[in-house]
Amino acid sequence: MNDELAFNSKIDLWLLILLLTGVTACLWGIATIWDSAAALMWPVMVLLAVGILIPLWVLVSLRYFLSDETLRVRCGPFNWQIPIRQIQAITSTNNLISSPALSLDRLLVEYGDNQRIIISPEPREEFLRQLEYRRKQAG
């Protein structure tokens, strides 16, 4: 099996609303200062544009990929590649720590030398089944 399986992140409605509210506030800020001639408004507009683009980039790009050898996590500008052989434990968590997950229905993946990543793949049971199959194949 060499195919890479892709899983989306589960998205909690409250988090989606929070992110989209932030994007809307930034859009409103840009619209409010658009006609301003003040030189300092351009840096503010750039910061507001970043406040729009980063959350949208995360929403659109957050995916988890399983291949025979790796769990790959892509989240906006960030990428992690975790060798399947190094995964030591997978446990459920609802930890609020910042992570590449858009839901509090999360999995804590422990791997390597005391490294961790928290993810929220959907469908969760299929992800766990596929990951466990690959872990057994990896030996």
Q: Domains of the chain by range and CATH?
A: 1-139 (2.30.29)
Q: Which helix (H) or strand (E) holds 98?
A: none
Q: Is the pLDDT of residue 36 over 80?
A: no
- Six-digit token pair at 20? 């989209």
Lowest mean pLDDT, pick from 20-24, 25-29, 111-115: 25-29
Entry pTM? 0.88
One-letter amino acid at 41 equals: M
pLDDT at 97: 92
Secondary structure E strands in the chain = 5-9, 63-66, 70-75, 78-83, 87-93, 106-111, 115-119, 121-122
Model confidence band, residue 20 (pLDDT cutoffs 50, 70, 90): very high
Q: What are phi and psi of 70, to 5 degrees?
A: -140, 155
- Six-digit token pair at 52? 């729009």
Terminal alpha carbon distance of the chain: 15
Tens-digit pLDDT profile for residues 57-68: 999 999 999 999
